[in-house]
Structure formats: C-alpha cells, structure tokens
Structure 1
Amino acid sequence: MSVTGRPTLNQRRRDDTRLEIARTAAALFAERGVEATTAEEIAVTSGISLRTFYRYFRVKEEAVAPLLAAGGRRWVLLFAESSAGLPLREALERSAVESLTPVDDQAIEAMHWTRDLLRDARLDTVWQRVHGDSEERLRAVLTARCPRGTDQLEIRLAAAAATAAIRVALEEWAFSDAPAAGPGSPQELGARCMRELTAGLRLWTLIA
C-alpha cells in the first residue's frame, strides 16, 4: 500500500496477474474438473512458469480465490463509496445488488464460472475463506462509517449477517438453473437475503 492507502502500481499489477490466473483456472476447472486439472496446466495456459504460479498460490484450488473474491471486493468498495446520507441498510443492499449485477459479457462469464466452482465440494474451503476475508473488510468499513462509540458487537453482527446474506444468495443461485440476471438471479436473491438476515439489527437504522 502507498502512503495514501491506495494500492501501489506494483500491487495492482500483482492483483491483475492473480485475477488472470484465476480466470484461467476457473475455465480449466469448469472444463475438466478440479481433480483432473494440474497446477502445471494452469501455469502453462496462463503463460507463466510453475515456479511463478507457486509464488502466487500454494495449491491449485487457491488459484480461483481472486475470481471468487472479486464480487465481494467490489461490493465493499461500492458500499464504502456510497452516499453518507443513506441509512446503512439501504446503502449496503444497493451496493450488494449492483455488485451482483453483471455489466458485460465477461462479467456474465465470470458468474457462470462461479456457479461451476461453487458446485465443486473441493473448493468449499477456499469459498469459506473468501467470505471470511470479505466479512473482515466489511467490518472495517462499517466501523469507519458508524458514529464513534457504536457497539462493536453490533458492527460485528451486522458484517456477519450481511456477508452471510451474499453467500447464501450465491449458493442458492449456483445450485439452481436461474439465469445470471432476472428472476432467481444473484441480485434478486441477494436483496431478499439481505433484508431477511439483517432485519431487526439496530445498526441498520443509522445514517452514516
């Protein structure tokens, strides 16, 4: 990180490389399955050496983590940049729906890769870790947006509930035949789950 808190150019390049490897791994996993795909195949298809691959990821399953995490990162960023005049619940729901709405063909392809990845039990550990990281990022942003003195337990519960809402929505969609947009889509399920799981939390009535 730079002194401004923004990623440095080198960090952005590393993040871009990790995401490109993740897309390659997701495509191979979708085509052949996780078990039949090797780390060497992911590296060769990505145009990097196996040694470089292992600089970024410890095992082949971890290679898809950046792709699975991309939506959550965008969600938290959108929430952090949302209007300070909105109640927290509304700001978070709007941000979640926007992050779950594919904006182009590449985003739709990534959503379908996500569906394939979530259906593979070998990636459960990676998926759970991705959401644990997302919860921590959301918790930090909530802490920054809430008035000084806000109960930290309420912030933690809110971050956990909101993150669980997104996880459940994506998992429900992944094991259905619903499209990436429209009825039964991640954005529709995300909004519904967000309202259900965060209802009754006092924190959501706050204006940031």
Structure 2
Amino acid sequence: MSKPKRPTLTERRTEELRIAIARKAVEIFVADGDTSATIERIAEAAGVSQRTFYRHFPVKEDVVRPLFRASSNSVIEALEQASDDGEPVEVLVTAWTSDLIHGGLGDFERRFLTLMVSTPQYRLRWLEVDDELCDAMIRFLERRQLLGDHPLHRSLPAYLIVQATRHVFEYWIKSGSHEDIADLLRDAFRMVLAGTRAPAAG
C-alpha cells in the first residue's frame, strides 16, 4: 500500500491559513452563542479579505471543515501507527481521545460542539468529514483480520464504528453528561466489534 503524498510547503501554508480562519470563526460563534456571524466579520477578525475567505470557503458553513478534518487526520494517523498486536478496542479509544488528553475538552470546546450538533448546516460538515474516516477504519480492521470476505462484511463494521463514535459524542454533548468519554467510546466499540463476525451463509 503506497503512503499518502506529503503536502508541499504551499499546501501546508494554505491549510494553516484555513485553520487560522476557522479558529477565528469558532471564537466568534462561541462568544455569540450562535453561528449567525457574517463572513465580513469573520474575515475581519482573521485579518483576511472577504475575497480570500471565499477562495478557501465557498460558503460560510465550510469554515469549520479544517478543524474537523484536522481531528479526523489525527485519528487516522493514530490508527495507522498503532501496533498490530494492540487490543483493538483500546487502540480505537486512544485514537479518538489522544487529542482530548493533550488538549482537553473544556467548556469552550463543548460549547462549540453543541453549536455544531444543534445547527444542521454545520452538523452536515461534521458528518461529511467523519465519512472520510471509513477507509482508514477498514484498513485498521483488515490488518487485525476482523473483517469477512463479503464486500458488505468488509465495509459495514468500519461504518458502524465511525457512526457509533459520532453517536457517543452527540449523546455526551446533548445530555450534558459528565461521564468519561473514553468509557462511553469503549462500551460502544465493544458492542460493534462483538458483531463483526459475518453471519453463516443461508
């Protein structure tokens, strides 16, 4: 399997700018308690022109994509670097919580995610980026021989894990739960992986 091409310096700088704009937008959204801030206001706060904003984000709702994608890329990297003999559930939990352990998930992050979950246009961006995790999840499960031979049996567990992860985070956010997110994810992954054995033919 070929390794993904490393981004060029220009590509890295472009992504850094996109993330900087995204962070300014999120700061405004959280401070306002809603996502109604105009593109003009976001661009001014980020120190860029509206033209630059539109060059990177065709519509305002796309501004959160870089943050979701950065989190997704962190999960993918953790899965690809994990030892093949690691216990699958614990590897999955670590992949999704390592950023939380280092950066924490404080009140600011929780308020941001609450806005994303409760605003359909922004939740859609979360869903779209999450779908990009499925290929990496298939590779992870395949290396551990946790997939069947049928095409559906090879893809369904990966999609279920990604969906289960999002469901756990949405439950945790909407309910205001103070439960350990790692424990909630661990339970969800155990439930999904317990059903990865393909059904007998007939």
Task: Answer whether TM exceeds 0.5 for this pair.
Answer: yes
SS of the aligned residue for 1:103 comes to: helix
Question: 1:124 aligned to 2:99?
Answer: no
Q: Structure 2-normalised TM-score?
A: 0.80
Identity %: 27
* d(CA) in 2 for partners of 1:185, 1:195: 16
Please state how far the C-alpha of 1:185 moved relative to its aligned partner.
4.0
Which position in structure 1 is the counterpart of 2:183? 188
Is the CA contact 2:24–2:46 (under 8 Å) kept in the aligned structure 1?
yes
* d(CA) in 1 for partners of 2:134, 2:154: 11
Alignment of 1:25-64 (within 5 A): 25-32=25-32, 33-34=34-35, 36-64=36-64
Is the CA contact 2:134–2:159 (under 8 Å) kept in the aligned structure 1?
yes
* d(CA) in 2 for partners of 1:184, 1:69: 26
* d(CA) in 1 for partners of 2:167, 2:29: 22
* d(CA) in 2 for partners of 1:104, 1:202: 36
Alignment of 1:165-184 (within 5 A): 165-178=164-177, 183-184=178-179
Q: Where does structure 1 lack aligned partners over 5 or more consecutive residues?
A: 204-208
Alignment of 1:82-121 (within 5 A): 82-99=82-99, 101-104=100-103, 108=106, 109-121=108-120
Please state how far the C-alpha of 1:141 moved relative to its aligned partner.
5.2
Please state how far the C-alpha of 1:102 moved relative to its aligned partner.
3.8
Is the CA contact 1:39–1:50 (under 8 Å) kept in the aligned structure 2?
yes
1:81-123 CA-partner distances (Å, limit 9, x unpaired): 0112224444223322324x24136x64445422332222332
* d(CA) in 1 for partners of 2:136, 2:121: 25
* d(CA) in 2 for partners of 1:142, 1:21: 35
Is the CA contact 1:116–1:174 (under 8 Å) kept in the aligned structure 2?
no
Is the CA contact 2:157–2:192 (under 8 Å) kept in the aligned structure 1?
no
Larger radius of gyration between Structure 1 and Structure 2: 2
Q: Where does structure 2 lack aligned partners over 5 or more consecutive residues?
A: none
Relative contact order (alpha carbons < 8 A, sep ≥ 6): 1 or 2 greater? 1
Alignment of 1:2-17 (within 5 A): 5-17=5-17
Please state how far the C-alpha of 1:51 moved relative to its aligned partner.
0.9
Please state how far the C-alpha of 1:146 moved relative to its aligned partner.
5.5
Please state how far the C-alpha of 1:140 moved relative to its aligned partner.
5.0
> Over the residues paired in the alignment, what is the CA RMSD in angstroms?
2.7
Q: Does the C-alpha gap of structure 1 residues 27 and 11 become closer, same or farther in structure 2, counting only changes over 3 Å?
A: same
Is the CA contact 1:119–1:174 (under 8 Å) kept in the aligned structure 2?
no
Report the count of equivalent residues: 192
Which position in structure 2 is the counterpart of 1:206? none
Q: Structure 1-normalised TM-score?
A: 0.78
Which position in structure 2 is the counterpart of 1:201? 196
Query: Which one is further off, 16-25 or 81-90?
Result: 81-90
* d(CA) in 1 for partners of 2:180, 2:115: 15
* d(CA) in 2 for partners of 1:126, 1:21: 16
Q: Output the amino acid matched with 1:13.
A: R
1:120-170 CA-partner distances (Å, limit 9, x unpaired): 233232122122222244335555x366x9634333112101111210111
